[in-house]
Structure 1
């Protein structure tokens, strides 16, 4: 027994005629006849007396009609209830660091809205370490982060990209003509870096320490615009992801040797239930 069969039966019962029922439902007459026949065979009863083109409910048909109407009304109620529930779906909260936001936004957000129009996405800008902590505290559902951090093991994660760090300067900087840069060459160079709690800066600190250099950092900032504008002034250098360098032709990006590769990952809390939509969003971001 299918809801469609019940609907066809009830409309035929109201019109007492298969032709009129088919016209009302925008289906063929055989579709109505076959639905009624299938119900009669399934339950082993005759639902209608047939007199030429007129249909009249049998006693069994009258009982079945009342039950069928109740089932259809209940199905409509359930459908409406879940449509309302869909409108109240909890938003998906996504964290992303400022530098990665420069790479992935607004394209990622626009693509998510196009592919998941019913989902209310809320984006929050946090550094990778803070975003990871907020995922563990369930204040974020998903985050896109620099995966080169110890806390990454506390989360479920999937690597979605890799980015090399380039040393960046203005075109008129004395080092702008270099084909590659060794960290030892930067011992006396004024640098501007992101805040000290960023994964990128922690990585650079380890790399400088490994070659015996104490970097000359004149400013730590959380604002990528400030960082890039300072570099354009021609007096300082910084480190940026390759993708950011490619988007700013007015600065020079020089590969670092040996290369400093950073893995980018999407993370979510281990053991936390993720509904089907959230799982699809995670998979979509992974393949973005």
Structure 2
């Protein structure tokens, strides 16, 4: 007996009239009668006591109806669970740290959402390292980060392009007109950096340590806006991922003679299958970053 036949059977039991049941089910009366006969033949039970168009449910029919009712309730629960699972594929949690947020979030909320209104985006703005942790713990479906080359075994890194990390100052600073500088020259000044939860700062501290240089870090901030304010008030220079300041007026970026760079990538969890919606989002983000950074620094 199929699930559809079970639903037909319960409708006939409830209405006790083939004509009325057929009308409610939008079936031909002959089709429904044949379906009921097929159930009786399959089960070997006499389910109905017929008197013209009116039928009464036999004792066996009543017992079967009770069992079918219980079974169909379980089927309904199962189908609802499947629908909920399917609906979650239309919701994506995306972690976008600050250095990517100003570029990507307006385009995600405008262009991507207009092109794919069926996909609901839940966007959060953690630090770079925190973004990777959220994906690892499956609290975010994917993250966009500029990472320092280190990897976590259970994460998949979809690399896009690399860009330079540069010394950032104001036009009147003594090093502003230099074609390039060394880490040692940068360390002669008190610096303001992003906090150590950012990949760029982790890269810098590792690079200073490898060169046996102890920089004077005047302040670590978790907010790019704070660093922008300190730079514009000529308080202290900084070292940042170049695209993080590319759109800001009044600041100068100077490359290092031994280039430092971060790699833009999208992070997903290795053990989780990438859904169709995720592939669409990954393709969109990749294209946005490549369009803005068509000539990677090295």
TM value normalised by structure 1: 0.67
Query: Are the equivalent residues in 2 in contact too, given 1:129–1:149 (CA < 8 A)?
Result: no
What is the aligned partner in structure 2 of residue 102 from structure 1?
A: 102
Name the SS of the counterpart of 2:200 in structure 1: helix
For residues 1-288 of structure 1, the aligned pairs below 5 Å read: 63=30, 91-288=91-288
Render the CA deviation track for 1:145-177: whole Å, top value 9, x for unaligned: 123253444212211232211111111222212
Query: Are the equivalent residues in 2 in contact too, given 1:146–1:263 (CA < 8 A)?
Result: yes
Consecutive unaligned residues in structure 2, runs of 5 or more: 1-27, 35-79, 289-298
Query: Are the equivalent residues in 2 in contact too, given 1:131–1:143 (CA < 8 A)?
Result: yes
Task: Extract structure 1 runs of 4+ deviating beyond 4 A.
Answer: 61-67, 84-90
Name the SS of the counterpart of 2:245 in structure 1: helix
Name the SS of the counterpart of 1:281 in structure 2: helix
RMSD: 2.9
TM value normalised by structure 2: 0.65
Query: Are the equivalent residues in 2 in contact too, given 1:266–1:282 (CA < 8 A)?
Result: yes
> 1 CA distance for matches of 2:159 and 2:257?
23
Shift of 1:65: 11
Query: Are the equivalent residues in 1 in contact too, given 2:93–2:122 (CA < 8 A)?
Result: yes
Render the CA deviation track for 1:52-109: whole Å, top value 9, x for unaligned: xxxxxxxxx9857999xxxxxxxxxxxxx9xx86767552100011112133332233
> 1 CA distance for matches of 2:252 and 2:195?
22
Name the SS of the counterpart of 2:202 in structure 1: helix
> 1 CA distance for matches of 2:218 and 2:268?
35
Consecutive unaligned residues in structure 1, runs of 5 or more: 1-60, 68-80
Query: Are the equivalent residues in 2 in contact too, given 1:193–1:221 (CA < 8 A)?
Result: yes
Query: Are the equivalent residues in 2 in contact too, given 1:171–1:234 (CA < 8 A)?
Result: no
